[in-house]
Amino acid sequence: MSKLPEQREKRATSQQIPPNRPLNELVRRSYILTYTEDVTPLFSALAEEKLNPETLRASYSETELTFPRAIRTFLSHRAAWQRATEQEGYTLICESDYVPCRGVGAFPSFWPLSDPMGWGYLYAGSPRLLALVGERRYLRAHCSPLVSYVVNPAIARILCNFFQSEIYRLGTKAYFPFDAHLQWSVMGAGGNAFIPMRNYGEHGGFPNPEHAVFGLPRAGQHRADNLATRLHFLPQYSRGSIFRYLGVRAYARLLGIGRLLANKWVLSTNAYHNGLLDQVEMHTVGVKRLLPSTRQDVATG
């Protein structure tokens, strides 16, 4: 019995979709951004995961040391972006307080590999879902923290241009939350950011004190509302106590549930026209991602 034309077309389309691939097959180089912090545990974890880590330790001039801490962080990310423009494939960039999940190197890609402008956040602080994309339902989302993310050369060039325009527009003397502006700017230049169904790691450090001075919610503190698996090592915020760690994790999960109940999970934009059924599916994904992980659902919805 011959297949109907629409069945043949659907099968052909499915075969054309590039499969998800393990991160350690896609990431050619990982850059760890640091200044004076000890990143030995993070470096060892990324090396164990076969993510080819390299430490980028900042060296600031006397003038740059007078800049706000947020601007100096911006400079560090720009240094990594410049290197990423020269790399083939994908580059992982993470800050010194990123704590990866065990097995992260084998975790699947969570953005459509067919999209040359696709990139992704391994850690997403307070994410907002914009759309579910493609047959595999990739999570097209918005979030701000640059704790750990993957870019390709095209996105890295956009980020370098973003740096130039922000510094030209706002200067280096006054604090501004560059990461809050970043994704909208990249989106305007054609970039598409994605997040995994479950965070591929945690933000383990403490917030920049400048965030509190300038009135950011919760003084800029953010944690993962879910995790794909256990972490490689205890985050800095635990201060060596498993009980403190578990308390913070429980609170972060409650905040995630609260954001979902307060309707802060789905974000409507003019870039995607989500109908009622789309929105129901998006909210369903929001519920699923806060349920216990089965390890089979870490990447997509």
CATH number for position 52: 3.90.550
H helix and E strand count, the chain: 9, 10
Q: Is residue 161 part of a domain?
A: yes
Query: For 130, phi and psi rounded to 5 degrees?
Result: -95, -35
Q: What is the pLDDT of residues 146-203, one digit of tens each?
A: 999 999 999 999 999 999 999 999 999 998 889 888 999 999 999 999 999 999 999 9
Distance (Å, whole) CA 123 – CA 107: 13
Answer yes or no: is 295 within a domain: no
Q: Residue 9: inside a domain, yes or no?
A: no
Domain, as residue range, for 76: 19-288
Residue 135 lies in a domain: yes
Is 2 within a domain? no
Nearest to 256 by CA among 278, 213, 230, 227: 227
* Residue 11: inside a domain: no
* Residue at 68 is within a domain: yes
Does any domain span residue 267? yes
In whole angstroms, what is the distance from residue 95 CA to residue 203 CA? 9
User: Domains in the chain: how many in total?
Assistant: 1
Residue 156, token pair as written in the block: 């890295």
CA distance 225 to 202: 9
Q: In the prediction, which pLDDT does 6 show?
A: 42
pLDDT given at position 282: 97
Which two three-digit tokens encode residue 222? 């953010």
Task: Give the pTM.
Answer: 0.90
Q: What is the pLDDT of residue 206?
A: 84
- Calpha distance 96→35 (Å, rounded): 8
- pLDDT at position 12 is 41
195's enclosing H/E stretch is: strand 192-195
Query: Among 141, 42, 22, 30, which residue's Cα sits nearest to residue 101?
Result: 42
pLDDT of 13 > 60? The answer is no
